[in-house]
Amino acid sequence: MSGDFEVAIKEGFGRFEEVLDPGCHCMPWFLGKQLAGHLSLRLQQLDLRCETKTKDNVFVNVVASIQYRALAGKANDAFYKLSNTKSQIQAYVFDVIRATVPKLNLDDAFEQKNEIAKAVEEELEKAMSAYGYEIVQTLIVDIDPDEHVKRAMNEINAAARLRVAATEKAEAEKILLIKRAEGEAESKYLSGLGIARQRQAIVDGLRDSVLGFSVNVPGTTAKDVMDMVLLTQYFDTMKEIGAASKSSAVFIPHGPGAVRDVASQIRDGLLQASHEQSSVTDKSHMVKEATRKAVLRPKPAFSLLIVLVGMSKATLAPRETMFVPTRPDKFTTGSYPFSMFPSNPRHAVIPE
């Protein structure tokens, strides 16, 4: 025999006689004794993959690992009663798994792997002990759902983790905002205290100035002193604004009365401009009307009386003078020349 974990089956004339332990044995073949076979007592493992459906209609592949071995005291049963031990164990495992997993949802099946393995082990132990085998341990190695189901489960898990992460992030931002608001409140409180102290110091200084000025200059009132102080501050401010060479600030009145005055000035300017435009328009109309009447008034075809008084012959010289046509039909051709001797314009008389 091959080792301490193997036994042999002895037969006499084809009938089982005994189980031979490891060692040296005499086998008188001429007396009908023979060796029927060997049986291993080593621990064996059988890996099975069973497809089944859960309670929520998800098909999964359950991977089970069965560890078993033959019992030395029941070696004859293990040798003679089962012809294919692995097929027998597989049938029992499939039966138990397909009877247990459909009662569970997919998540419950993952959580209760040990219960499934225990149920398989109990059923196998009860069935295989009659055949001379011992079930040492049963393991549910893996529960493998469909690829789409696994992807969906991963997405659910990822969404849950993202939700938790978003909650934690929002909580952190909330704490940050609260702390920032508390800091701003404390800062504003301290700033308010500083401003209050500053104004109090200014008031105290002004009061001392008013009292000192009233004592040194008799006849002055507190209002006179305050007006002088305000005027001094005003000119100091104007000086600071214009001190910089590249200053772009423009100091304008900003009180409600100043705004009203500016609006009144703009309105008066617009009204004055409108009045002047109307006057110019009226004068233009009057000139056009007078010109039209003068053109349409009937006059002689051509009349001119020139009185020459006190002119010497040496001053007489021919000169070309342009006259405006007096007849309506001549307006299409323009003016025409008339040669004459010039005279003093003061003595030229044009009859109506």
Average confidence score pLDDT of the chain:
75
3-state secondary structure (DSSP) of residue 140: strand
Distance of CA 131 to the CA centre of its chain: 71
- Reported pTM: 0.44
**β-strands 336-340, 319-323 pairing:** antiparallel
Mean pLDDT for 171-189 is: 93
Q: Is the pLDDT of residue 176 over 80?
A: yes
pLDDT at 74 over 60: yes
The answer to whether 308 touches 347, Cβ cutoff 8 Å, is yes
pLDDT at 116 over 50: yes
Q: Which residue has the higher pLDDT, 22 or 255?
A: 22
In order, the DSSP letters of 98-165 are HHHGGGS-HHHHHHTHHHHHHHHHHHHHHHHGGGTEEEEEEEEEEEEE-HHHHHHHHHHHHHHHHHHH
What digits encode the pLDDT tens for the residues 127-149? 888 888 898 999 999 888 888 88
Cα separation, 255 vs 235, in Å, equals 17
pLDDT class of 336 with cuts at 50, 70, 90: very low
State percent of the chain over pLDDT 90.
20
* pLDDT score at 11: 73
**Predicted pLDDT at 80:** 82
Sign, CA torsion 159/165/171/176? negative
Percent of the chain at pLDDT > 70 equals 73
Query: What pLDDT does 262 receive?
Result: 61
What digits encode the pLDDT tens for the residues 6-58? 788 777 777 777 777 776 777 777 777 777 778 888 888 999 999 999 998 88
pLDDT of residue 319: 45
Start-to-end CA span in the chain (Å): 166
pLDDT digits (tens, 9 = 90+) for 288-311: 777 766 656 554 444 434 433 444
Q: What is the pLDDT of residues 225-249, one digit of tens each?
A: 777 777 777 777 777 777 766 666 6
